[in-house]
Amino acid sequence: MTSAALPLETLVSPERVLFFGRVSKREALEALADALGEAPQVKDRAELRSEILKRDELMSTAIGRGIAVPHARLASVTDLAAAVGLCPEGIAGFEALDDEPVRILFMVAASSTQRDTYLRTLSYLCGCLKRQGLRERLLAAHTPEEAYRLLVGGCG
């Protein structure tokens, strides 16, 4: 998948980049779902929050290397949207296969009809976030705008 096929600047915005201190897994997921629920593509914030929590209870969304990609496809979402959470201290409880605490969360919501685009997007983001240099720069960012620019530029 090329970067032109996935315009990250349309998926995420600086307003949906959150920085976390010490939080629980649930607190991080709820805060990120609430931020993502503000995206114009999301029509039912409560449903998104509920489904994200259910999805992560069913199976951890941690993919290793300090990354988790919580996600949901819902009829109340009109198009792909995302939010990012950064926690340099790490969030325990995600049960990652490598036992690393999660430091970067990339939450994705999509329409229930966007199966292929949704799967390609998840795959692309996972590949992008596995770049150690990008992860380190994101975790060192000081503002949502800086993290947004790093993400959009680093995945391009």
Residue 71 is among the residues annotated as catalytic for this protein: yes
Joined tokens for residue 20: 């976390």
Q: Of 16, 25, 49, 71, which is the active-site residue?
A: 71
Coil, helix or strand at residue 107:
strand
Q: How far apart are the first and last CA of the chain?
A: 11
The span from the CA of 76 to the CA of 116, in Å, is 18
Phi, psi at residue 110, to the nearest 5°?
A: -140, 165
The set of catalytic residues is 71
